[in-house]
Amino acid sequence: MSDNINRGAIWKNDRKEIDTHPDFTGNLNVEGVEYWVNGWKREAGANPKAPALKFSINRKDAQPRHDRAQSGNDGFTDDGDIPF
């Protein structure tokens, strides 16, 4: 069995149906706590200094994954702060 503590991975989201769905989904383990990861690519025409990838993480035991992935919440507030 491999040690996955403090590791994670994301894959292309083959279930993306609308623009607000994440481009990538996956999981992350931080100090033994499991998280879902959602990622969005930089939009076409965006400032080149904008992040290449925005992401959000949510504890697996906090909320069902499908509710977050389709919510359109990219994990950022209007002021550009990352919520963690």
Q: What are 21-68's pLDDT values in tens digits?
A: 999 999 999 999 999 999 999 999 999 999 999 999 999 998 665 544
Over range 5-18, report the average pLDDT: 97
Residue 59 backbone phi and psi in degrees, to 5 = -55, 135
CA 71 to chain centre: 12
Is pLDDT at 3 greater than 90 in this prediction?
no
Q: Where are the alpha helices (DSSP H) in the chain?
A: 65-69
Q: What are 12-23's pLDDT values in tens digits?
A: 999 999 999 999
* Residue 70 vs residue 39, higher pLDDT: 39
Over range 70-75, report the average pLDDT: 48
Cα end-to-end span (Å), the chain: 30
